[in-house]
Amino acid sequence: MSAAEPVRRTAGDLLRERGELTDDVVAVKVRGRLVDLHTPVPADAPIEVVRRGDPDALPVIRHSAAHVMADAVQRLFPGTQVTIGPAIDQGFYYDFDRPEGPFTDKDLAAIENEMRRIIKAKKPFYREEVSRDAAHRLFEGMGERYKLELLAAIPPDETISLYRHGSPGRPEGTWVDLCEGPHVPHTGHLGAVKLTTVAGAYWRGDERNPMLQRIYGTAFPTEEELKQHLELLEEAKNRDHRKLGKELELFMFHEFAPGMPFFLPRGASVYHRLIDFVRQLYVELGYEEVITPQIFDKRLFEVSGHLENFLENMYLPITAESLEAARKGDVGGVHFLTQKPMNCPSHCLIFAQRRRSYRELPWRVADFGRLHRYERAGVIHGLARVRSFCQDDAHIFCTPDQIESEIAAFNRLLFAVYRAFGFENVEVKLALRPEKRLGTDELWDRAEGALEAALVSVGVPFEKLPGEGAFYGPKLEFHVTDALKRSWQLGTIQLDYALPERFDLEYVGPDGAAHRPVMLHRAILGSLERFYAIYLEHVAGKFPTWLAPEQAVLVTVSERQAEYAEQTQRELTARGLRVALDAGPDKLGAKIRTARLMRHPYIAVIGDDEVAQKSVSVRSRDAGELGKMSVEAFAERLLGEARPPEVIR
RNA sequence: GCCAGCUUAGCUCAGUGGUAGAGCAACGGUUUCGUAAACCGUAGGUCUCGGGUUCAAAUCCCGAAGCUGGCUCCA
């Protein structure tokens, strides 16, 4: 630092001068930005103190924990190189290049112990700002080639900062990392740490790069909070849709069809009711539904561009005849077939089936067709990521000046639907042009602009995702998170100028001339399979009465009431209700237990009293004991809840 | 696809080189019972599959499949 430069004081210095520096201060916030105590701040800036218990302290603690972990790793496993190690939502990770290969669970335990030693020693963190050259020399000397690569990627005008923390047992006394911060004042702030898993991760997230060893962990100010976090994870596991799907007999998988769910009778019942719900919306919103083929000649997907852009995700079925021809080398006898991964090309064929008038637009065509996409092994995940699924898919063919209102209307609809299912936290993302795409830049400018304009007009906050659009157009994505806080896309709306062009679609305008329509691809629930997964977790297996496979279960106190119970079941079923019956020899307590585990909305007990009074004793899953009521009153109550939620007013 | 782990009865899980186990579920019997598990009994397994090492493999080694946690890719 040259003499001419004014002395720059750190946030820590300022607080100390003001006598506000207590040991529980982890960092500060300056104009909304999280800054640690080691970093110089403008003397006149308003400072907000962040203490150990504050939510803002967590990322600081975790990022520091990542450093301490890397320190421990390098101490225990010399020759291991460090790369990056950020704080994340649930904790932190650090990626290492370890020549000896992956870490084992035993290694994790050893690393954790080493971390505890460093934490216990309450070693201070230091920040220093250095020149690019000095940093280069430092990491070159240490043989940290990943850090050199990171250093080279820092823009020239940015400050280069190093963070050290005291490391008991290291010859140089400290462990150093190229890092922006922020970090805690000393290692003692890392109250409770836990390393959770090891995983492979590509350097810089590119699968062509070498695979690094990632260690995930988490950290909290206190053991108590860590314990709570671990309990929360345990609870989340209990509502994992894969576990619930098995327990509630909703769906299954088999290795003969990996990634392709089998919906069991109870699960299929829910699935069909979801479709019914969407179908009802379609009636009200002016959609028409079609049914289209599964398997096509390859020419369809040549025209659509899928063969060029989506081939690695497509199944190519083959007939025995073609297989035989191929074996004989008879190329002309081989029929190249394609299993559809999307419905849009079919709908283009239907649009082009006859002359279309502008008076028909917007034409909204829906399709619950089953789609198949080949997904690489390792990416499939319960119902949330499958190889065979169906979307509540529809395409809107419209004129260019109908785009914005269609998109805005769809946005409003989608939020209303999600709200009806109890999803309040929906994240909206605008996915922009990918590298591999159809159409000119000018078309993409227009398409992206239109989506953004619609979002602005509806007034929802959104995030832009460069390069994430579909190959035929930009998309709006609507995301919600699963029980384990993984974010999944549900609905989408995509704007497409390319397919109408490729299929040479036209409508006759008021001027009598041919015009090119625009296509909107949209789904509300998205993949029904994925929606099913997320929703099942969202309600923890407790489907509302309108969706539940059985809306009530009748249980008898003894087998003596079986006849009356059967008659009651028939009466309720005749009124369109779904009612199960448990008239077996078990004791009432056991039947209640079974019924509760199956999460039936209502349990109706039938004993001698009920038979005599022509009643049932009702217990609601959500509202508790309701007492005796007539069968008629029970039916009325069920019928009142059996209607799907109203979305459109 | 890549890295790591897992796979034992329908389900949840014990079993680390020497005769495959438990609980629940199923089935049979007894009990006829009032709001989260009655009692007794019976049956059920090529220990995912294929190779290898060994006198001997659920157990050790190699390969495959499926699943799990990540990475990459995506609804």
pLDDT in tens, A597-641: 999 999 999 999 999 999 999 999 999 999 999 999 999 999 999
Q: What would the mean pLDDT of A88-101 be, rounded to a whole number?
A: 91
Task: In whole angstroms, give the CA distance from residue A85 to residue A79.
Answer: 18
Q: What would the mean pLDDT of A153-167 be, rounded to a whole number?
A: 89
Helices (H), A92-191: 105-120, 132-142, 145-153
Task: In whole angstroms, give the CA distance from residue A122 to residue A120.
Answer: 5
Beta strands in A123-237 (DSSP E): 125-130, 160-166, 174-178, 192-202, 211-220
Helices (H), A421-554: 441-458, 498-502, 528-538
Residue A349 confidence (pLDDT) above 90: yes
Residue A3 confidence (pLDDT) above 50: no
Query: What crossing angle do the helices spanning A145-153 and A132-142 adopt, rounded to 10°?
Result: 160
- The distance (Å) linking the CA of A430 with the C1' of B20 is 57
Residue A460: pLDDT band (50, 70, 90) is confident
**A391 catalytically annotated:** yes
Q: Name the strand (E) or helix (H) holding A636.
A: helix A631-641
Burial class (CB in 10 A: 0-12, 13-18, 19+), A155: exposed
Which nucleotide in the DNA or RNA is closest to residue A584, CA to C1'? B32
User: A179, A344, A348, A398: which one is catalytic?
Assistant: A344
Residue A6 confidence (pLDDT) above 70: no
Q: What would the mean pLDDT of A247-254 be, rounded to a whole number?
A: 95
Q: What is the pLDDT of residue A170?
A: 73
User: A165, A347, A373, A429: which one is catalytic?
Assistant: A373
**A496 catalytically annotated:** no
Q: By the 8 A CB rule, do A200 and A214 touch?
A: yes
Q: What is the mean pLDDT of chain A?
A: 92
pLDDT tens readout for residues A191-243: 899 999 999 999 999 989 999 999 999 999 999 999 999 888 888 899 999 99
Q: By the 8 A CB rule, do A341 and A306 touch?
A: yes
Q: Is the CB of A92 under 7 A from strand B?
A: no
Nearest residue: Cα versus C1' of B11: A247
Q: What is the pLDDT of residue A49?
A: 87
Q: Which two tokens stand for residue A320?
A: 């025995």
Nearest partner of A180 among A12, A13, A35, judged by Cα: A35
Residue A34 confidence (pLDDT) above 80: yes
Task: In whole angstroms, give the CA distance from residue A104 to residue A94.
Answer: 15
Q: What is the pLDDT of residue A543?
A: 97
**Chain A 541-580 contacts with nucleic strand B (CB below 7 A):** 557-560
User: A38, A186, A521, A538: which one is catalytic?
Assistant: A521
- The distance (Å) linking the CA of A387 with the C1' of B66 is 15
Task: In whole angstroms, give the CA distance from residue A536 to residue A397.
Answer: 33
Q: CB pairs under 8 A, 24+ apart, for A169-172?
A: A169/A75, A170/A71, A170/A75
pLDDT tens readout for residues A508-531: 999 999 999 999 999 999 999 999
Nearest partner of A296 among A336, A347, A349, A353, judged by Cα: A336
**A475 catalytically annotated:** yes
Residue A99 confidence (pLDDT) above 90: no
- The distance (Å) linking the CA of A585 with the C1' of B29 is 13
Q: Is the CB of A213 under 7 A from strand B?
A: yes
- The distance (Å) linking the CA of A249 with the C1' of B17 is 40
- The distance (Å) linking the CA of A241 with the C1' of B42 is 35
Q: What is the pLDDT of residue A241?
A: 96
- The distance (Å) linking the CA of A126 with the C1' of B13 is 50
Q: What is the pLDDT of residue A1?
A: 41
Residue A168 confidence (pLDDT) above 80: no
Burial A167-185 (b: 16+ CB within 10 A, else e): beeeeeebbbbbbebbbbb
Residue A478 confidence (pLDDT) above 50: yes
Q: What is the pLDDT of residue A7?
A: 65
Q: What is the pLDDT of residue A649?
A: 66
Residue A4 confidence (pLDDT) above 50: no
Cβ-based neighbours of A111, under 8 Å, separated by 6 or more:
A69, A72, A73, A76, A103, A195, A215
Q: Is the CB of A434 under 7 A from strand B?
A: yes
Which nucleotide in the DNA or RNA is closest to residue A469, CA to C1'? B74
Please report, rounded to a whole number, the percentage of residues in chain A having pLDDT higher than 90.
73
Task: In whole angstroms, give the CA distance from residue A365 to residue A156.
Answer: 53
Q: What would the mean pLDDT of A406-428 be, rounded to a whole number?
A: 91
User: A395, A446, A479, A600: which one is catalytic?
Assistant: A395
Q: How far is CA A338 from CA A128, A318, A371, in A?
A: 60, 9, 11
pLDDT tens readout for residues A366-401: 999 999 999 999 999 999 999 999 999 999 999 998
Q: By the 8 A CB rule, do A412 and A648 touch?
A: no
pLDDT tens readout for residues A543-574: 999 999 999 999 999 999 999 999 999 999 99
Lowest mean pLDDT among A84-93, A278-287, A446-455: A446-455
What 3-state DSSP class applies to A106? Answer: helix
pLDDT tens readout for residues A263-305: 999 999 999 999 999 999 999 999 999 999 999 999 999 999 9
pTM above 0.80, yes or no: yes
Q: What is the pLDDT of residue A602?
A: 98
The span from the first CA to the last CA of chain A, in angstroms, equals 68
Q: Is the CB of A596 under 7 A from strand B?
A: yes
**A521 catalytically annotated:** yes
Q: How far is CA A487 from CA A242, A478, A481, A543, in A?
A: 16, 10, 4, 22
**A237 catalytically annotated:** no
Best-predicted range by mean pLDDT among A48-52, A260-264, A469-473?
A: A260-264
Residue A21: pLDDT band (50, 70, 90) is confident
Best-predicted range by mean pLDDT among A29-43, A106-120, A442-456, A570-584?
A: A570-584
Residue A153 confidence (pLDDT) above 50: yes
**A344 catalytically annotated:** yes
Which nucleotide in the DNA or RNA is closest to residue A612, CA to C1'? B34
DSSP tag of A584: S
